[in-house]
Structure 1
Amino acid sequence: MFISKKMLVLLGLASCITLASPGTIQANTSQYPQKPISLVIAFPAGTTSDSIGRIFASELGNALGQTVVVENKPGGNATIGAKYVVNAKPDGHTLFLTTNTPISAAPWLLKNVGYDPIKDFTPIGRIGNLPFVLVANNNVPVSKVQDLVNMAKKDPGKVTYASGNATGILAGATFAKRAGIDMLHVPYKGSPNALTDLMGGRVDVMFNDLASSLPYIQSGKIKAMAVASAKPSAIAPELESMETAGINNFDLSAWMGFFGPANMDPAIVERLNAEINKIIANPEVYKKLSDMGFDAFGSKPDEFGQFVAAQLDVWGDMIKEAGIEPQ
């Protein structure tokens, strides 16, 4: 689309060089932060990203001795929040906590996102993965994946699947392709609205992150059919995986990480990365995240940058294979 695969490695290396270049120094780190920090979340309040963001905002604020304010800027497959961050000053006072949606998926789902996902952001650190699950409303007369596939084959186009984000869109399309079935896609602006309609019986199934689905699964308002991965999940070992359900080459989860605008001061990036990794290593915080269904772990900025570059290719290939055309 906007960037060749061969350029990704070069751009990844360039971003690392830029990160280390003295010319990018923007602030005196001994005085950072000098004012409240804005933590941009590109999803609505009440989503898993928002809940995780508020945990990190509180902990990071305590670590830095400055208020960290969550700013929800949803819309456009998370590109509205992403563009806001791209246009912010790279002084460390505007941060972006996001999933793969605006970085790996939206550049392939939209004809023009308005930014370059590699060059226009500074990777600070990956914080973990959001496992996805296939959930259904309680009126759906099956509880196993293969039974759902058989039901969909009997009535092509009758089974509906909701989506509240890019991972949900891709998961549903990929599942249909791998299973050889025709399902009707019903898109939503966010997972809370999609879950509401799922519970109300207005849509049949959806792929959603385990964290926001878990309370409704545990209360019996919806039922979980499988994890959206090839292997079983340690967080939900009782659920069958797609591989054990007979759906091969299906392995989807959403990653999550911190970014800033391009050309941030490397010293500020390193400090933020160190504090974020300390937060994840805190047993109380880790347990809180794990109980939410979030698989938390830390990383270094350069590792995250390389991962982001690789994921752009991965998601591009999956979206093309699923037959999803950019809008």
Structure 2
Amino acid sequence: MRHFIALLMFVFCVGSNALAQQAGFPSKPLRIVVPNAAGGGTDAFARVVASKLGEELGQSVIVENKPGAQGGIGTTFGAKSAPDGYTMTLAFTSTFAVNPFVHKDLGYDPLKDFAGVALGVTQPYLIVTYPDAPYNSLKEFADFARKKTGGATFASTSSQTELIGVLFQTIVKTKMLYIPYKNATTAVVELSRGDIDVMVASLPSAIPLVKAGKLKALAVTGNQRVAALPDVKGAAESGFPEFEAKGWYGLAVPAATPAPIVQKLNHHINLVLAMPDVRASLVAAGFDVETSTPQGFSELIRQDYKRWGEVAKQQRGSQP
């Protein structure tokens, strides 16, 4: 009986200490690990959120860039961090729903190693081409791709944009040649002079080039037009409703992080995303601001993990 009582006291003390830590959270600076280099869309999103979230929580929130291995280095670091809420990882479609199917020995399992905290933004992509291309819509390009000897060429700079191209060729029943690029700058240069037929590009990087006339937009890979490019049709309006392909950014923590801490972070992140200046800044960059519960974001991760996994299997099955 004495041992049993001692065990109960131990469990009570441990539980009390955990609750006390959660009630006082946060008591020190937090960080958001961005698994990409500074200056890109993920980094820009993280910095907008970090600045305002620090004010909300009364603690500084530091953005820590850990690029490499197409997001694998930083995401693995986040997965192995202490599950105390002080380290959040910038989660996005490529690292959480695509890379598990295209890279071996990833170092983390997005479904087992992480808990979703909050969705932040979603964004479709743009199908862009060179200004003098002989096609002006997604339907015209589909016809061109079916007829071109050897197949049309498409460029991308990430695993997800590659699979978006694979999805499109499956829908239009043709075969295209994928050309990978390590950075968007080189791809845009070669696309703009007509060396490549089309490119799957992110909105923040492509919008300024389209507005400057350096690239021509064929369609948005979502089923609605985007405010930043109101004249560019969405996939459904272009005749391809199945071609809805969006990316998303959100925040995640190690799976063992206590639920009250996850809920508190979610609450304050959603407050930040509701701020008019934050929303205006993100919308101007081509994002759709979307809030969620932790459970809702985790479910989105699971759904896209399944969807892009199926597309990746189709790609492998079509390879010789």
**Residues 23/126 of structure 1: CA separation in 2 closer, same or farther (3 Å cut):** farther
The one-letter amino acid of 2:274's match is A
Q: Which residue of 1 aligns with 2:307?
A: 314
Mapped to 1, the partners of 2:183 and 2:123 lie a distance apart of: 16
Name the CA distance, whole Å, in 2 between partners of 1:193 and 1:62. 39
CA shift for structure 1 position 23: 10
Aligned residue for 2:104? 111
SS at match of 2:133: coil
Take 1:201 and 1:34, find their aligned partners in 2: how far apart are those partners?
Answer: 55
Query: Secondary structure in 2 aligned to 1:74?
Result: coil
Asked if 1 retains the 8 angstrom alpha-carbon contact of 2:282 and 2:288, the reply is: yes
Whether the aligned pair in 2 keeps the contact of 1:26 and 1:91 (CA below 8 Å) is: no
Q: Which one is further off, 168-177 or 307-316?
A: 307-316
Partner of 1:121: 114
Aligned to 1:7: none
How many residue pairs end up in the alignment?
304
Q: Secondary structure at the match of 1:77?
A: helix
Aligned mate of 1:239, from 200, 224, 232: 232
State the 1:55 CA deviation.
0.7
| 1:197 CA drift (Å) | 4.3
- 2:116 partner SS: strand
What SS class does the counterpart of residue 70 from structure 2 fall into? coil
Matches within 5 A, 1:78-227: 78-157=71-150, 159-191=152-184, 193-199=186-192, 201-227=194-220
Q: Is 1:145–1:225's contact at 8 Å kept on the other side of the alignment?
A: yes
Say whether the 8 Å CA contact 1:41–1:71 is kept in structure 2.
yes
Deviates more, 1:50-59 or 1:262-271: 262-271
1:132 deviation in Å? Answer: 1.1
In the alignment, the residues of structure 2 paired with residue 130 and residue 324 of structure 1 have an alpha-carbon distance, to the nearest angstrom, of: 28
Alpha-carbon distance in 1 for matches of 2:143, 2:224: 22
Whole-Å separation in 2 of the counterparts to 1:127 and 1:88 = 21
Indicate yes or no: 2:287 matched with 1:282: no
Q: Which amino acid aligns with 1:300?
A: T
Q: What is the aligned partner in structure 1 of residue 246 from structure 2?
A: 253
Taking a change above 3 Å as real, the CA distance of residues 157 and 244 of structure 1, as seen in their structure-2 partners, is: farther
Mapped contact 2:98–2:309 kept (Cα < 8 A): yes
Distance 1:275 1:164, change over 3 A: same
Matched residue SS, 2:267: helix
Q: Report sequence identity in percent.
A: 32
User: Counterparts of 1:295-314 in structure 2 under 5 Å?
Assistant: 295-314=288-307
The code of the aligned residue for 1:101 comes to S
SS in 2 for 1:240: coil
C-alpha distance in 2 between matches for 1:180 and 1:156? 15
Q: Given that residues 128 and 256 in structure 1 are in contact (C-alpha distance below 8 angstroms), is that contact kept between their aligned partners in structure 2?
A: yes
**Change beyond 3 A, Cα 1:23–1:170:** farther
Amino acid at match of 1:223: K
CA positional deviation for 1:200: 5.6
**Aligned partner of residue 178 in structure 2, secondary structure:** strand
User: How far off is 1:120 after superposition?
Assistant: 0.3
Amino acid paired to 2:224 = P
Q: Deviation digits for residues 52-72 of structure 1, max 9, x if unmatched? A: 111111111222222222222
Determine if contact 2:226/2:286 at 8 Å carries over to the other structure: no
Amino acid at match of 1:233: R
1:62-81 equivalent positions in 2, closer than 5 A: 62-81=55-74
**Which amino acid counterpart does residue 107 of structure 2 have in structure 1?**
G
- Inter-partner Cα distance in structure 1 for 2:248 and 2:133: 30
What is the TM-score normalised by the length of structure 1? 0.83
CA distance, structure 2, for counterparts of residue 115 and residue 49 of structure 1: 19
- Which consecutive residues of structure 2, in runs of 5 or more, have no partner in the other structure? 1-14
Once the two structures are TM-superposed, the CA of residue 282 in structure 1 deviates from its matched residue by 0.8
Deviation string 1:65-85 (CA, Å, 9 cap, x unpaired) is 222222222333322221010
Shift of 1:271: 1.5
> For residues 25 and 46 of structure 2, what CA distance do their matches in structure 1 show?
21
Native 8 Å contact 1:75 1:189 kept in 2: no
Letter in 1 for 2:38: A
Alignment of 1:2-17 (within 5 A): none
Q: Distance in 2 between matches of 1:102 and 1:325?
A: 23
Runs (5+) with no aligned partner, structure 1: 1-21
CA distance in 2, matches of 1:24, 1:49: 36
For the 8 Å contact 2:154–2:197, the answer to whether it is kept is yes
Counterpart AA for 1:188: Y
One-letter amino acid of the counterpart of residue 122, structure 1: A
Bigger-Rg structure (1/2): 2
Partners of 2:263 and 2:297 in 1: CA distance: 13
1:60 to 2:53 alignment: yes
Aligned equivalent of 2:258: 265
3-state DSSP of counterpart to 1:90: coil
